[in-house]
Amino acid sequence: MFLTATNVFHYLRDTGQASERDIVEENYGIVEIGRRNRNFKVLMPKSTSLFVKQVPMVHPETVSSFLKEAACAQLASESAAGSAIRSVMPTLRRYDPKAHVLVYESLDPSETLSECMIRTGGIPPGLAGNLGRALAACHVQTARPGALARIASALTGDFPWVLIIGQKAEMVMPNMSMGRRQVVDRIRATPDLNQGLIDLQSRWRRLCLVHGDMKWDNVLLVGQPGDQHLRLIDWELAELGEPLWDVASVLGSFLQFWLLNLPLHQVQGDRERALATTQVKITSIHRDIFEFWTGYCNEQAGLFGSGIEAIVSTARLVGARLILLAFELLPTDTTISLHAGLALDLAQYFLTQPERATQDLLGIDPRSFASPRPEVWNRSRQTDYIQ
């Protein structure tokens, strides 16, 4: 059954999520939200509004992603009240594996962090630190032995696709645009980029549940401005993997917000001036980056690494995230845009000079976080925490 704005309420009625009384009292309204999936917000002012998600088509790749989100939602719903993962995920009301439908309680009023930053020009005070602590708490909770046994079958432990793009681009993106083809060619022609991605593969750890797609569109702020709490949505790329990938993705989102607001059209064709422009106003995001980083580090308390090694590993993953950004900026372009080109330059900086790039672009002084390496950081102790 494919849901539409016409039949979604009847589906909810038939599955016990709504009633005939809602129809009689006209206690519902349907808002279709176009994204990757079939998404509907069902407004029921006299009861609890719902958010309904269905795969756009029954295809092995889309179904696999949907199963991951369903598994994470069920894990959260079965976790103890107040647990980290339950606190950050929307409340699951129903999972229908036959129709590939998820029904959540709607979070109203709410806005994405992207919408908030566009509206206000920044992040609400304290939110960056809260995000760091919440993300670390989820990682720590799901790194415990047996924590993911319930959903192990849905987690494949695969790398993010960007880490294999230099080796398997034609398999990952068989119909890539000309702009994306040029990015692939540049990666393959630049040892710092190509080998950097290969090195990240060799260092990849499978330690806990990672969101896999941490970006501002997937951070939801719930409540009225000034009294908002956060939720993490869209867990379709969730995986058993490297917790620092989520951290690097958040840091990359800070850089993306700043990078896309650089007036690169004013220095078009001048690569040196474009690179110099990267220093403009970057300090405006340093405070929030520092709050996020310290919040994460304090909450995870060295479980996933600390000191210089953690900073270096995270910085190199930021480089990979910036390469991913370059692809995201070129869905149909015929050539590499200025912003995508600069993203690749910055990626090379993070991959080759991680400590310096961390200080220059993230405002984090690696020396201030130097500390003895905890035993858990030793690679010989790595293990997959599904038992």
pLDDT of residue 225: 83
Mean pLDDT across 33-55 = 90
How many whole angstroms separate alpha carbon 259 and alpha carbon 274? 11
Report pLDDT digits (tens) over 162-208.
999 999 999 999 999 999 999 999 999 999 999 999 999 999 999 99
The beta strand positions in the chain, using DSSP E, are 29-34, 38-43, 50-54, 92-96, 101-105, 110-112, 208-210, 219-222, 229-232, 239-241
pLDDT of residue 279: 54
pLDDT band at 321 (very low <50, low <70, confident <90, very high): very high
To 10 degrees, what angle do helices 338-352 and 243-259 make?
140
**Mean pLDDT over the full length of the chain:** 89
Query: 41-57 burial, b for 16+ CB within 10 Å, e for fewer?
Result: bbebeeeebbbbbbbee
Q: Which amino acid is at 226?
A: G
pLDDT of 79 > 80? The answer is yes
Domains (range + CATH), the chain: 8-105 (3.30.200.20), 110-381 (3.90.1200)
Q: What is the DSSP-derived secondary structure letter of residue 93? A: E
Q: Find out whether 217 and 314 touch, Cβ atoms under 8 Å.
A: no
How many whole angstroms separate alpha carbon 173 and alpha carbon 164? 11
